[in-house]
Structures are given as structure tokens and as C-alpha cells.
Amino acid sequence: MNNTIHKVKVLPNKIIIEAKENENLMSALLRHGIDLGGVCGGKGLCGKCLIKVIEGKTSETTVQEKKWQKAGGFEYRLACQTRILSDATIEVLETFVGSKMKILSWIIEKKFELEPSVKILSLNIKKPSLEHQEADLNKILSESKLQTFDPRILKKISHNLWNANFKVNAIVYNEELLDILPQEPKTKVYGIAFDIGTTTVVGYLYNLEDGSLISVRAKYNEQIKFGEDVISRIDFAGKSDKNMKLMQEAVISTINSIIEELVKAANISYNQIYDMVCSGNTVMTSFLLGNDCHYSSKAPYIPSFTLPVKCKARDLGIMVNQTAYIRTLPLISAYVGGDVVADILVSEIYKASEPTALIDLGTNGEVVVKVGEKFLATSCAAGPALEGYSIRNGMRAVEGAIESVSISEDGNEVYYRTIGGSKPVGICGSGIIETIAWMKIRGIINKTGKILEGSSKRVFRENGELQFLLAKEDETMNGKKIVITQTDIRKIQLAKAAIFSSLITLSRLGNIEVLDLHKLFVAGAFGTYVDPFYAIIIGLLPDIPRERFIQIGNGSGAGASMLLLSRKKWEEATDIVKSVSVIELNLIKFFKDEFINATYFPHKNEELFKNSLEKLGLL
């Protein structure tokens, strides 16, 4: 086994990633948080992972790639088919790359002015003498026109000033002096944007002087051990102060281990990280700060705080420079958190002049609608079904998950592909949605979601429950069949109804119909992978033309990055939050009816989905 590690520079953003000898490039990219958005599970079918190899030795072109080269040009390769054999430079192609990369590039292209909170000031301090005994700090503050300083600097200020012969760089956070460093050799300063997801935490390391993204790392949130969704975690944390402390320590440990990897990858020191911005939903933000969300989790759902919080990273035990601040995004309500604020910032929905909506698809779904001056937001408990949890054979979107499905016209044959191309183990979110969509198209379920006996050879009853067979025992990894049950379909019905009825309710409160939406931003990890075509068929997303959908991928990480790099955006964020009205759906009289209507496939009112249903001959 050759354990050589190659460095791969990824253009256009000059991110350096590491790949093992002969490692699949797509795996290496994914491991570093760069997801090109491929949907074929690395089989070279979808063509989404097109790249150029600029420099370096890679594996030979495969049969699949040849097809794409025919269409696109011989300089292209597919990342999923390319293995790394030396240090290399590759280029990711904007037109093809998935949304996560796109957003990050977009930030780096500076659609906003780079203005981080941390600045480096070059100071030439007057040398002291018996006649001029002014204190070192006083001179530095007056030279840099600052009033405040972090008391930790007192430990070393004189040593650093005198050793550098009074030519120093001041590291300044807004109006506060954080550090004094020699001018030569010049120290680079960094910041980290964190997306603290319920399931996954992602850290983005930036150079704060030029705004360049240096490295990205992702890890599962260690809080998962206390519960997979926020409700079970709130239950756990609320039981005792000790539990709350464990919960807080889990996310801080996750953050610290991501920082450790980022620091190692960039070959820098913890002390060079002088700023941190964290985006997350209200519960994740609260847990980070030690709040147990006890009162926000039950009616009338009052959050402890919604203001942005700024504290010293040392107060939370986070391993960056001990004078650095950590900021959390402002929140909107108990269930519309900083991640949605980030989505709003990244999508710029707040600037929209035409009716526009934003949906963050996750265990907790959030919906935002902007119509004229009206800027409405709400959240709905979609539940974990859309992400493959709580489904009989559901699983996360990892190797072995059926992620794409097709059913033959007679309803008797099923085609599927799994992530990684292995034998199937279960089915993930996008697979479930595609299955149900095809069951609808092929008439295996009716409008109400009922599985129709005799509609397909694959429909059978077991333990009294109707089921649809996706994969037989001999096809699967563990020798157990994979099915979609009537109960699974009911769960998806409730989830998609929650999302769609929220969207239609907010639209009606904004005096528009859902089909009037000019643009619809879809955010969230799941939202990035789901194909709008199938989502429309089941009535999860509205039946508007495909080009009106914009997938913004990990808006939470992108938004945190923006706020790390732009003081102006940070100030804007507070104003934007104030302009959002949170709608408590339980108080809207017609919501209940809308919810029930939305449980149909695709909807009780088929007129709303006329375009798609007509094309498929279902209307």
C-alpha cells in the first residue's frame, strides 16, 4: 500500500487539498468539503463533476469520460473517474460545479466589498528615553487611534514592541487592539466561518487580508450522540446543567477538531486566527452559547435571545487566538435561525422586487417569502423523513444508499443507482422522493397516497401493510429486501405538506399565488441534491418553470463567510432581521386546510400542478 499524500491545488480558488496516492479525486474533494454536486454516485453518468487537470499525473481516461469529452472537449475529465498519482493542479469549472462551490466562489469574487473586522495596521512607534517615558501601550493606542485593547495583550506587548525595535504591526478588531507583532517576517491573519448544522459542522478558513478561501473541513456534529434531531437534543440538554454542559462541549469539541485540521492543512498556527463567525439554527446557536432552549421548544415558543452574540473565543474554550472574538448570527425566532438569516443574505432575497421565496429543506424546514414590502418567514417541522430518517429502509445519503430511482411504464421494473455504486443498503432522501414520484407517475399510488393493490407486481402486503418492493433480497448488501411502505409514504406526505402549505400560506399572506413566484431559492444540503422535477411531482415544490429554481447549497456556510469578510454585511444583517415578520402558522386560520390539501399527491387542487401533470399525461 502506497501511503504517499499528494497536494492538489484547486483553481480558481487556490484551495489546497490532500489526496492519497491513487485516490479518487471526487472523494478527496468531498473530504475537504468541496462538493461538485454529482448525482450519479460517481459512476461517470451525470457529468456534473467535470474538471480540467492543469498539471500533474492522473489515471487514464475511462470509457464514461470519453462520452463527456465528446460533448465538452478533450481537456475535460470527470472528477469521479480521475485518480491522483502526483501533486497536481486542477480547475473546477464554474458552469458545471455544484452550488456549494459556486456560492463560495461568488463570495471570493467579492460581490461585496472585502472589509473584515480584523485589520493589520503598520506602526512605527517612537523610541522611548528618560525624557519620554510614555507607556508602550499608550503610544500604540494613540498611533493606531484606538481606545480599547484586549487585556491579554498586556502580557507581551512590551516584549513584542521592543524585540521588533518599535516597528510593529497592530492586529485590530474593529476599534480594539488584539495583538502586536513584528513587521518582519509578516504574519498572515486568518478567520474562520462556521456552519453549525444539526448533523454536519463545516469550517471555512479565510485569509483576512485578501479574502481568499484557504481550506474547508467538515465533520459530523458530535451532539448527534445526544439525539439526531433538535427536539431530542433539547430534551437531553434540559434534563440537567450537566447535560447542557455536555451538549455545549460536544459542539465545541467538533469546532476545535475542525480548526485543528484547518490549521494543519494551511500550515499555520492557532494564534493566527483572529476572528470567527458561526451560523446555525436557533437551537445550534443556543447550544453553542450554553442555552438549553427549554422555553423556546414549547408554546408559545419564546427564544431566550435573537440578537447576534459576540464573545471572546476563550470564553467558549475555542482554540484560536485567545484575543479573538466569536460572533453568532442574529436569529429571527425560535425556529427561524441564523442559518436562514445566512440564506437570506446569500440569496439576497431581501433585495427582490418581484415575488420571491426561499425554502431551506432540512429536518426543520424554513420558508421565507418576499412580496413588495412584505417579508415573511416561518418554520415547519418537516421531520426527518425527507432526509431518510424514520423511513423503514431509510438511511443517510452515504455509500450504499439508493439515491435515484426509475420505474418502468408497466410499474413492474425498478432501476436505481446507489451512492458509491455498491449494492444497496437502504434508501436516502432523494431516492425516496424519486420513488414516490415514479409511483405516482406509474399509477401505483393514487392522489391520496394510497398504494393500489394490483397496480404493480411489486406491490405486496406484509404484516397487514401494503408495500412496494424496491430491491429484492438477492440484490442488496445485507440480503434483506428494500421497500417503501404505506407508512413511509404517509411520513413523506406530512413532510412535504408541511413545506408546501407553509409556502402557499406565506404566499397568500403576501397576496400572491404560489405560481406567481418569480424565483425560488432552495437551500440546505438535501435541497442541493433533490431534483426539482421529482419534487414537483410529489408536490414538495411548486410547479413553476425549472429556471426559476436556484439552488444555493450551503447558504449557512456561505452567509457566515460573507459576514466574516464584510463589516457592512454584518450591519446589514441586523437590519434585515428586523424587517422579517415571523408568521406563527397555528394562528393563520386557513393554514390547517392548506396543510390538508397539500397532503395529496401532488395537491388536492391539481390546477396548481397543471403544467407538470399535463406533460406527464396525468391530467
| Residue 583 touching its own copies (CB under 8 A) | no
**C-alpha span between 172 and 394 (Å, rounded):** 50
At residue 344, what is the residue type? I
| Residue 182 touching its own copies (CB under 8 A) | no
Cβ distance to its own copies smaller for residue 67 or 567: 567
Quick one: which of 155, 186, 480, 568 contacts its own copies (CB under 8 A)? 155
| Residue 584 touching its own copies (CB under 8 A) | yes
| Residue 571 touching its own copies (CB under 8 A) | no
Stretch that binds its own copies, among 285-293, 404-412, 467-475, 483-491 (CB under 8 A): 285-293
Dihedral pair phi/psi, residue 273, rounded to 5°: -95, 110
| Residue 517 touching its own copies (CB under 8 A) | no
**C-alpha span between 364 and 247 (Å, rounded):** 19
Number of residues that bind its own copies (CB under 8 A): 50
> In this structure, are residues 357 and 503 in contact, taking their beta carbons and an 8 Å threshold?
yes
CA angle 566, 570, 574 (to 5 degrees): 165
Which runs of consecutive H residues, i.e. helices, occur in 3-120?
Answer: 25-31, 63-72, 99-108
| Residue 180 touching its own copies (CB under 8 A) | no
Tell me which H or E stretch contains 263: helix 241-266
Residues 6+ apart with CB under 8 A from 402: 416, 417, 418, 424, 426, 427, 428, 431, 435, 470, 471, 482
Interaction pattern, residues 382-401, with its own copies; x per rule: CB under 8 A: --------------------
Per the DSSP assignment, residues forming a β-bridge with 115 are 566
Would the CA dihedral through 265, 269, 209, 565 be positive or negative?
positive
| Residue 270 touching its own copies (CB under 8 A) | no
Residues 462-481 contacting its own copies, CB under 8 A:
none
Cβ distance to its own copies smaller for residue 71 or 587: 587
**C-alpha span between 607 and 609 (Å, rounded):** 5
| Residue 162 touching its own copies (CB under 8 A) | yes
Tell me which H or E stretch contains 276: strand 273-280
| Residue 57 touching its own copies (CB under 8 A) | no
Distance linking the first and last C-alpha atoms of the chain: 59
Cβ distance to its own copies smaller for residue 516 or 584: 584
Quick one: which of 8, 84, 107, 157 contacts its own copies (CB under 8 A)? 157
Q: How far is the CB of 278 from its own copies (least distance, A)?
A: 13
| Residue 300 touching its own copies (CB under 8 A) | yes
Quick one: which of 2, 129, 353, 463 contacts its own copies (CB under 8 A)? 129
The Cβ-side half-sphere exposure at 270, using a 13 Å CA radius, reads 16
| Residue 379 touching its own copies (CB under 8 A) | no
Stretch that binds its own copies, among 4-12, 128-136, 383-391, 434-442 (CB under 8 A): 128-136
How buried is residue 571: exposed, middle or buried, by Cβ count under 10 Å (0-12/13-18/19+)? exposed
| Residue 137 touching its own copies (CB under 8 A) | yes
Interaction pattern, residues 197-236, with its own copies; x per rule: CB under 8 A: ----------------------------------------
| Residue 617 touching its own copies (CB under 8 A) | no
Quick one: which of 126, 586, 593, 605 contacts its own copies (CB under 8 A)? 586
Stretch that binds its own copies, among 9-17, 264-272, 327-335, 551-559 (CB under 8 A): 327-335
Residues 6+ apart with CB under 8 A from 571: none
Cell of 115: 472589509
Cell of 72: 465538452
| Residue 619 touching its own copies (CB under 8 A) | no
| Residue 115 touching its own copies (CB under 8 A) | no
Quick one: which of 55, 75, 210, 315 contacts its own copies (CB under 8 A)? 315
| Residue 596 touching its own copies (CB under 8 A) | no
Interaction pattern, residues 333-352, with its own copies; x per rule: CB under 8 A: xx------------------
3-state SS, one letter per residue, for 294-312: CCCCCCCCCCCCCCCEEEE
How buried is residue 373: exposed, middle or buried, by Cβ count under 10 Å (0-12/13-18/19+)? exposed
| Residue 306 touching its own copies (CB under 8 A) | yes
| Residue 106 touching its own copies (CB under 8 A) | no
| Residue 54 touching its own copies (CB under 8 A) | no
3-state SS, one letter per residue, for 310-334: EEEHHHHCCCCCCCCEEEECCCCCC
| Residue 294 touching its own copies (CB under 8 A) | yes
**C-alpha span between 413 and 490 (Å, rounded):** 23
Cβ distance to its own copies smaller for residue 58 or 285: 285
The residues binding its own copies (CB under 8 A) are 128-138, 141, 151-152, 154-155, 157-159, 162, 244, 286, 289-292, 294-296, 299-307, 309-311, 314-315, 331, 333-334, 582, 584, 586-587
